[in-house]
Amino acid sequence: MYDLKIYFASSNDHKKQEMMRLLNGVNITLPKEEAIAFDPVEDGNSFIENALIKAKDLYKKVNAPVLADDSGLVVDALNGRPGIHTSRYGDVDGKKLIQSEKNAKLLGEMEGKENRRARFVCALVLMVSNEKIYIIQETVEGYIAHSIRGEHGFGYDPLFLVEETGKSAAELSDSEKDKYSHRGRAVRKMNLIIEKLKEELK
């Protein structure tokens, strides 16, 4: 039995699965599950700005609590790329690369780089009303591997070595990933806000 329904401003089933694991007693609903058109232009200059764009776009359509996530990989040796363009990195003229191609592109760009430090960033926005918006941003530090490692996770997980574990994000179990990941850290803080919100809405 869910205590609260929150629309998740995403079309990513993998992210929804993570959110369902991490959020306590919350029914996470994607726009596509209710045939709600959702394709905002993410033209912000930061993860937080893009998360706000998504949250506000969906809130206008559902007039109910909305959770938005904008996250990505920041690589020091690439001047912060892919950064806010992580999900579209390498796409050219509307032609979208599949993830294996994106991974290969990133490995190619890192060839010969001594500094392989990187971090995953997650900005979370919970929009309860036009006047009540909560924002949390968290990171997990690590390094870019020299090759693909692991079969779990999604996105750049197989290339990102989590500093605290020495494993790639794709080598972690679900519980380990939830503990160490940027999204896990952000959602744990957001959970505290959501618990208060449940009390307010009773």
Is 119 flagged in the annotation as binding?
A: no
Which residue, among 19, 78, 80, 75, has the nearest Cα to 46 in the 3D structure?
80
Residues ≥6 apart with Cβ < 8 Å to 161: 142, 143, 144, 145, 149, 167, 168
Is 11 flagged in the annotation as binding?
A: yes
Strands 66-75 and 26-29: unpaired
Is 10 flagged in the annotation as binding?
A: yes
Token representation of residue 54? 């998504």
Is 143 flagged in the annotation as binding?
A: no
Helix, strand, or coil (residue 188) = helix
Backbone angles phi, psi at 164, to 5 degrees: -75, -15
Is 182 flagged in the annotation as binding?
A: yes
Is 160 flagged in the annotation as binding?
A: no
Q: Given 3, 57, 70, 76, which residue is catalytic?
A: 70
Residue 91 annotated in active site:
no
Which residue, among 121, 124, 99, has the nearest Cα to 19 in the 3D structure?
124
Is 156 flagged in the annotation as binding?
A: yes
Is 147 flagged in the annotation as binding?
A: no
| Binding residue positions for substrate | 10-15, 71, 154-157, 177, 182-183
* Active site amino acids: 70
